[in-house]
Structure formats: C-alpha cells, structure tokens
Amino acid sequence: MTHLSFILQAQAGAPAGSGASMWIMLALIFLVMWLFMIRPQRKQQKELEKFRNGLKKGDKVVTAGGIYGTVAEVKDNFLFILVDKDVKIKVAKASVQADYSEGTAPAAVPAASSDKKADEPKAE
C-alpha cells in the first residue's frame, strides 16, 4: 500500500462535519482572544492617548524612561518637563506613560548629612 492510498483512505473515513467543526473552533478561539486580549488592549491605548492629548502645564508625569517631572510647556508632538529647579527637558508626548501625584509618588530617599558622605562607614 502506498502512502497516497493510505492518506485517501484516512480522509474517506473522516466524519462529514469535521471541516465545519474545525472552522467553528478556530472562530471561537479568535473570539476568545479578541474578548480577553485585543479589546482590553485597545481600550487601554485609547485611554493613554486621551491622557496624552489632555496634558497641560503643571501636570505631574512619568516618562517611559522613568523620569518624573512637571509639565512646563506642551507642543504638538513633544513637551518640556521640569525635572529640577531650572532644569527642563524636551520629551516626545508618546514617551509619557503615566500621571503621578504626591500620594502615589515613590518615597523620597533620605538625604545624607552634609558633614558625612553616604559611603563612609559609621564609627562605632
């Protein structure tokens, strides 16, 4: 028996509705993926785009690179962020990832005292 005749016999014994059930299963898999993955991601992208378009002077933001700052000026595709006293940086609007307020900002690192350096061991 050749390989071709074996394949033809296997196909002849298959139930008549197997092709249709395969397409139904593929459609159900796509539907589940759309409901649980694609749709929520699109919703999140729309909310982020709405947030970026609504930025205004004084908003506190975090960039994709992890830079925290306050919006100083907004242009079409970029904005200036005040990161320290008199230090502004120009960033793309698309790099702004989130808004932060004082309540959600990470805790400040305690400053080292002025007479001792942070790396010096403490005298016992």
State pTM to two decimals: 0.58
List the 87-92 sheet strands across, edge first: 87-92, 78-84, 68-74, 60-63, 96-99
Structure-model confidence comparison of residues 107 and 49, the more confident one: 49
Task: Give the pLDDT score at 100.
Answer: 83
Is the pLDDT reported for residue 108 higher than 50?
no
